[in-house]
Amino acid sequence: MSLFERAKRTPPWLRKPLRAAWYGSKRLKVALSSLGDVPRALTRPRPPMRILGIYHLQEHAGYLGDMIDYLEILNVLRVQHGLDKIDICYIDDSSNPNQPISRPRLEASPEYKEMMLSLRAVLPRVGAVHLFDADAEFERFFRMNYRRYVCWPRYGRLHTWPTYTDYGLLSDDGHPFANVYTPIDEYFAAHGSLPKLSCPPALLEWARAFVRAHVSPALPIALQIRFNPDSPLRDTVLEAWKEFLQRMESRSEVKFIILCRREEIVPELRQLRNVLYSKDHVSAALNDLALLQVCHFSMMPDSGFVTFPWFCGLPTVYFGKQLHEFPERRYKNERGQGLKFLTRFQRRRIGAHDAEALLREFNSLYDDLAAAGWRNPNL
């Protein structure tokens, strides 16, 4: 006879405590089984520290160049602190009252916000990506996880959002402005070089295939034209660049890939046999950056695109009509003679320029690269 059958034959006064003991043992078994997770939780190692990039799309806003600057700062901090991964928090609380000058442009186009977020593809070792549509939700995350991160900007643990500060001011530690160049300058002063940004391998392979199909056997030269109503003072002097490209038409060894927005295309430049527009083939900003990275060198107006050649190691000539007070303070470069980390193949030219000046700068860089035997390793 089984133990269960014997229990059923016991007197009624004994059955009740036996039944309670039986069900109690089952509950105890369930409770004990759940304790199996406790040792794992206790012995699991504390997660390694990471960089936490905090980019508030309302407070920081910004354009493509601002985001590239910011991503390079995160890359520098990752290497400087010997950390493996970078987590990024994007915050986009439309009730935040801060009003940087670039905010209206950001709010006018959902596609522009998507482009800004997509640029993290050029940053090595991205870990977790968090998106918050409320300052309060981000604050909770920030305070709970503060100790496991090196944060940029360097907000204190008790910092609250909205950040009631003047975003026209700068401070050496990066607060309130997110992409001041201080971390970049400090790293370069200590090491003599910078860690590189790079498009993902698949995008670079696409860019190489593009060059083989549309440029080879000529060398690709990236060129940007710019016509932007937000800051017309920085626009391309079209007549000078058009004459330059016409004079270059006889040189079959090079071909120019023009990078710009669709609304900046000048149709008559398509008639030149040494010119093609990237936007006639692709539309995404990352495709433009990949093409830029595989070119022999680039020629840039006063625009955000120029920052990517600086941080991926591409030779470039930047043509600015004049210095702008706020960027120069960010660069700590009041004289405009060049940023401290630029190589001899990365040049800034400030002032009026005509087709003759463009031709002179092109030939100077082209000849210097040939003398040095330089070849783009990405091409």
Same domain, 132 and 254: no
Choice between 337 and 3, residue whose per-residue pLDDT is larger: 337
Same domain, 221 and 344: yes
Q: Is residue 379 in some structural domain?
A: no
Q: Is residue 30 in some structural domain?
A: no
258 with 225: CB under 8 angstroms? yes
Same domain, 231 and 174: no
Same domain, 248 and 280: yes
Choice between 15 and 254, residue whose per-residue pLDDT is larger: 254
Domain endpoint, select from 168, 191, 214: 191
Same domain, 249 and 147: no
Name the pLDDT band for 5 (thresholds 50, 70, 90): low
Per residue in 241-269, pLDDT (tens digit) is 999 999 999 999 999 999 998 888 999 99
Q: Is residue 26 in some structural domain?
A: no
Q: Is residue 179 in some structural domain?
A: yes
Same domain, 217 and 346: yes
Mean pLDDT of the chain: 87
Same domain, 338 and 230: yes
pTM of the model as a whole: 0.86
Q: What is the DSSP letter of 45?
A: P
Residue 225 has pLDDT above 80, yes or no: yes
Domain endpoint, select from 125, 160, 191: 191
Q: What CATH number does residue 212 fall under?
A: 3.40.50.2000
Q: How many domains does the chain have?
A: 2
Q: How many DSSP H helices and E strands does the chain contain? A: 14, 10
Residue 236 confidence (pLDDT): 87
Same domain, 273 and 138: no
- Burial category of 71 from C-beta neighbours within 10 Å (exposed 0-12, middle 13-18, buried 19 and up): buried
DSSP string, 212-276: HHHTTTSEEEEEE----TT-GGG---HHHHHHHHHHHTT-TTEEEEEE--GGG--GGGGGSTTEE
Residue 237 has pLDDT above 60, yes or no: yes
Same domain, 133 and 205: no
Same domain, 167 and 271: no
Domain endpoint, select from 191, 209, 231: 191
Distance, in Å, from the CA atom of 309 to the CA atom of 376, rounded to the nearest integer, reads: 12
Q: Is residue 3 in some structural domain?
A: no
Range of the domain at 212: 201-372
